[in-house]
A = this chain, B = another copy of it.
Amino acid sequence: MPHQLPTKPVLTLAVAKLIAAAAEEVAVENQWSVVIAIVDDSGSLLYFQRMDQNANSSVDVAIAKATHAVQYRRPTKFHEELLDKGNMVVLGMPGMIPLEGGIPLYVGEHVVGAIGVSGVRSPQDTIIAEAGEAALKVYLAD
């Protein structure tokens, strides 16, 4: 029997849109204007939308949160909390933005991508991102 490489799950555009739609719904319900960025497991952008009236800075911040989350495989909140406790190393790490609102998307043990949200207060950004993460879990459980 021939050798085979292991496999990993792949985030599709259809599922990314489903994740973003769930996140957007929470934003709209709360009248929060945000940027929503979803990256794949390589850190490449897969889906992105900027709602009207938020600051330009939110574009880079949302993408940075998503990239951080997928590359470090941790919510950006993890490193924000380390920094809050006085661990300044966080500020010297490459590709790190120590502000909550970026969440890796796990399927089992695999990180298939991440969602990053920016535009309102960062705990609110997290609520929106978590709605996206939850939608993925529901989809996979259905």
Contacts and interface: CB of A to CB of B under 8 A. Distances in A.
Interface residues of A, number: 62
Given A8-B7, A15-B5, A90-B92, A71 B49 contact: no
Indicate how many identical chains form the complex: 4
Contacts of A64: 94
A15 B50 CA distance: 12
Contacts of A80: 89
Contacts of A89: 80, 83, 98-99
A93 B99 contact: yes
Interface in A120-142: 139-142
A56 B43 contact: yes
B93 A61 contact: yes
A49 B7 CA distance: 20
11 contacts: A5-B11, A7-B9, A16-B49, A55-B71, A56-B70, A57-B93, A61-B94, A80-B89, A83-B89, A88-B91, A91-B91
